[in-house]
């Protein structure tokens, strides 16, 4: 079970690293000057590759997490585990929102300012903090 925990931590940390950097690429995309096609294309390529990689990392991260949850028994751990699973669902929603934003960028441009994307970039930090506190402190 310790190997599964270790793999879960590695994949989750890698997944979050991608989720930290992807919105930063969106900030840069929102700041691209009109007519800078090469720069825009390069940033879109980087974002596509990073999104694909983070999606590939999310699958084993979630699979090992499910394995751990089932290994401890469903319902065991009570409130903190259910709260952590709610945070995981929020992270999955954030990941999906990043994919939707990338499609919007590829279709024509930013719908929002670079400042909005800077704030959006801070959300995974709060989600990671919530997940770590729930796992370590187990307040419920």
The gap between the terminal CA atoms of the chain, to the nearest Å, is 23
pLDDT tens readout for residues 68-106:
776 665 555 568 888 888 899 999 999 999 999 999 999
Tell me the pLDDT of the chain averaged across its residues. Answer: 88
Q: Three-class SS of residue 23? A: helix
Q: Which two tokens stand for residue 91?
A: 């992270």
Q: Is 49 annotated as a binding residue?
A: no
| CA angle in degrees (0–180, nearest 5) for 52-13-106 | 25
* Cβ atoms of 19 and 87 closer than 8 Å: no
Whether the predicted pLDDT of 111 surpasses 70: yes
Residue 104 assigned to a binding site = no
> How many domains does the structure of the chain reveal?
1
pTM here is 0.88
**Domain of 16, in residue numbers:** 2-137
* Exposed/middle/buried for residue 56 (C-beta within 10 Å: 0-12, 13-18, 19+): middle
């Amino acid at each position: 079970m310790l190997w599964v925990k270790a793999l879960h931590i590695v994949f989750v940390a890698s997944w979050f690293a991608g989720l930290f950097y992807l919105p930063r690429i969106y900030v840069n995309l929102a700041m691209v000057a009109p007519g800078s096609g090469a720069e825009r294309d390069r940033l879109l390529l980087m974002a596509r590759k990073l999104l694909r990689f983070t999606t590939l990392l999310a699958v084993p991260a979630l699979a090992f997490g499910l394995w751990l949850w089932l290994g401890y028994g469903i319902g065991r751990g009570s409130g903190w585990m259910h709260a952590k699973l709610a945070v995981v669902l929020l992270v999955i929603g954030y990941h999906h929102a990043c994919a939707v934003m990338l499609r919007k960028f590829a279709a024509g441009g930013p719908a929002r300012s670079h400042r909005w994307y800077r704030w959006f970039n801070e959300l995974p930090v709060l989600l990671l903090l919530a997940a770590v506190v729930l796992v370590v402190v187990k307040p419920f």
